[in-house]
Amino acid sequence: MASTVSGSTAFTTQVDPDTGTFQRRLGDVSTFFYDSEEGKILGKTFQQWIFGAMFYMAFYACIVFFMLACGAVVYQTLNWNMPRLQGQDSLLQQNPSLGFRPVPSVDMTLIRFIKADPTSYSPLTDNLEAYLQFYENQNQVTDTGVMVDCKSYNKRRPQREWDKACRYELNNLGPDCIKQQAFGMDDGMPCILLKLNRVFDWHPEDYHNETEIPAEILDTYEPYNVHLKCFGVTPADQDNIGDFEYHPPQGFHFKYFPFRNQQGYRSPLVFVRFMNPAPNILIMVECRAYAKNIRRNSVERAGVVKFELLVD
C-alpha cells in the first residue's frame, strides 16, 4: 500500500500473520527433529540417548532376571510326578466324579442318533473307537516295558506294586459293546462308556457291613469294586429308559487303584448298555459311583455324571 510522508510517496508490505505463524511452527518442528545449533535429535543429545538406552536396558534386564529367579524357585518346589496339593487340600478333595464317552462336543451332553443309520452315529462310534485305541495292548506300553498283569488279583494289589501301572484288558468290556457292532447303536441299544476321573493317590474304600451298602446296589454288591448304577432322572425318564447291562458287571475293581501318575496308566472302564430305550423320546440319565468314600451330589456333579439320550 502507498503512504505520503512530507510530500513523497513510500510503499510498505504487510505480511499475512497466518503465513508467519505456519512458518514458525514448521521451523519449530524441524528444530525438534534436529537442532543443529545444540546438536540435539528429538530434543536430546546423542549422549542423552545413549544414557537413556543403557538405563532402560539395565532396567528391563533386572525385571527379566527377577522373573527367571522367581520361576526357578517355583520349579524347585514342584514335583513332576505328583501334585503339590493332595487329599482334602486338592481341588477334587479326594472325591472322584464320573466321565462318559462318546462326547458329541465339549459343550453338549446329548447323545442322539438314528437307529440303523451309520451316517448319524458314525461320529459317536468314531469318538469311542479313538478313545479305546489307547487301551489296545500295543499301546499300553512304557519306556521300560514294565506293567503289571492284574488278571489274577481279586482284591487290592500289594503296595509294592503301586508304582507300576496295571494293564487293562478290553475283554473286560464284554462281547457286545465293540466297534464291529457299532457299539450297539445299529440295533438301537447304545453302549455308553463310563470312567472315574483320576484323583492322585485316591484309594476306594469298601463298605464294612451290609447296613452301610446303599439299597440301590445291595442286590448286586461285590466287595473290592466301585459299583455303578444308572437311573432315569425323572419318573418319566425311569419309565422310558428301559433295562441296563454293565460290562464288567461289578464296576471298577480296586486293583486298578491308586493312580500315582504311573507310566502307561489307564483308567478302568465300564460300558453301560441300554437294552431297550424308548425311541423318539429324550431321556435324561444319571449314573452314580458307589464306594464308602465317594460322596454323591447331583448339583455339584460329585460322584455322578449326567447326559441325555435320544434314539430316533
Better-scored residue on pLDDT, 260 or 80: 260
Does residue 183 lie in a domain region? yes
**Residue among 307, 80, 101, 298 nearest 197 (CA):** 101
Q: List, edge to edge, every strand of the sheet that includes 191-196.
A: 98-101, 191-196, 269-274, 244-247
Better-scored residue on pLDDT, 256 or 34: 256
The pLDDT of residue 299 is above 60: yes
Q: Give the count of domains, the chain.
A: 2
Please list the residues that pair with 307 across neighbouring strands.
Answer: 285
Reported as a single tens digit per residue, the pLDDT across 187-240 is 999 999 999 998 888 999 999 899 999 999 999 999 999 999 999 999 999 999
Reported as a single tens digit per residue, the pLDDT across 253-277 is 999 999 998 888 999 999 999 999 9
Residues 59, 123 within the same domain:
no
Does residue 3 lie in a domain region? no
The pLDDT of residue 43 is above 60: yes
Does residue 237 lie in a domain region? yes
The residue segments making up the domain with residue 269 are: 97-311
The pLDDT of residue 1 is: 47
Residues 38, 161 within the same domain:
no
Residues 53, 178 within the same domain:
no
**Structural contact between residues 276 and 240, judged by C-beta atoms closer than 8 angstroms:** no
The pLDDT of residue 145 is above 80: no
**Residue among 78, 77, 83, 80 nearest 202 (CA):** 83
Q: What pTM, to 2 d.p., does this model score?
A: 0.76
Using DSSP, state whether 181 is helix, strand or coil. Answer: helix
Across the range 50-67, mean pLDDT stands at 92
Nearest-10 Cα torsion for 72, 78, 81, 82: -160
The pLDDT of residue 36 is above 90: no
Does residue 155 lie in a domain region? yes
Does residue 83 lie in a domain region? no
Residues 56, 102 within the same domain:
no
φ/ψ region of 308 (left if φ > 0, alpha if ψ in -120 to 50, else beta) reads beta
282 backbone dihedrals φ, ψ, rounded to 5°: -75, 125
Better-scored residue on pLDDT, 189 or 46: 189
- Other CB atoms within a 10 A radius of the CB of residue 165 amount to 23
Does residue 76 lie in a domain region? no
**Residue 27 pLDDT grade (very low, low, confident, very high; cuts 50, 70, 90):** low
Residues 30, 147 within the same domain:
no
Does residue 140 lie in a domain region? yes
Across the range 90-106, mean pLDDT stands at 82
Query: What gap in Å lies between CA 145 and CA 252, rounded to an integer?
Result: 24
**Residue 29 pLDDT grade (very low, low, confident, very high; cuts 50, 70, 90):** low
Does residue 213 lie in a domain region? yes
The pLDDT of residue 88 is: 64
Residues 123, 233 within the same domain:
yes
Residues 274, 183 within the same domain:
yes
Domain of 272: which CATH number?
2.60.40.1660
